Amino acid sequence: MIRITELARERVERVLGNGDLAVDATAGKGRDTLFLARAVGPAGRVIAFDIQRQALAETASLLKQNNLAHRVSLVCGGHETMAAHVDAPVAAVMFNLGYLPGGDHGIVTRPETTRRALASSLELLRPGGLITLVLYSGHPQGDQEKKAIVNYCRELDGALYSVVQVRLLNRRGAPPELLVVKKSKNQP
């Protein structure tokens, strides 16, 4: 079975190396943060964002269990504040939108803050860098957010960015989708 989150990690893994800076825009349970901490190697750094202290505590615990906490800075704040916390070109940014599994389903990512975070990500991304966005449209605001982000990405300059959308066609309901945005290597 294909998992959208695994596809996102496979794409990101191709652009990350030892010493890179990566961002987890939505730390959640910490799985993407852990993946990024491993992928950037001993000389790399990860900055992970979440608005929920519960999510950051779970992420911190997972990183500590894997002896990787020293590679990660956790920010208790929305991903739309990314530009205030990131001080260098970023190799990859991962978004896993929606709500914290097992958490309060009333606390969700929102189209307006995600658009701002995506705009910041594009500015911070180094040439050849990659952004992944896992979109969950099965919750009340999820479809609205998905449409807003897909439309935003559709309008990106094709000479500067390549955007791919991946959907599971044979799943019922509202399965997650993946957007992959790659910045041209020819950008200044």
Residues 6+ apart with CB under 8 A from 116: 80
What is the reported pTM? 0.92
DSSP 165: E
Give pLDDT, residue 105. Answer: 57
Q: Which of 167, 161, 170, 133 is nearest to 149 (CA)?
A: 133
d(CA 184, CA 173): 35
> Tens-digit pLDDT profile for the chain (188 aa)?
779 899 999 999 999 999 999 999 999 889 999 999 999 999 999 999 998 898 899 999 999 999 999 999 999 998 889 999 998 899 999 998 775 455 555 656 666 788 899 999 999 999 999 999 998 877 667 778 888 899 999 999 999 999 999 988 877 877 888 999 999 987 65
Give pLDDT, residue 146. Answer: 82
Q: Which of 93, 116, 102, 106 is nearest to 140 (CA)?
A: 106
d(CA 118, CA 1): 29
Q: Under a CB-based contact definition with an 8 Å cutoff, are residues 74 and 59 in contact?
A: yes
Give pLDDT, residue 99. Answer: 54
Domains and CATH numbers, the chain: 4-183 (3.40.50.150)
d(CA 188, CA 186): 7
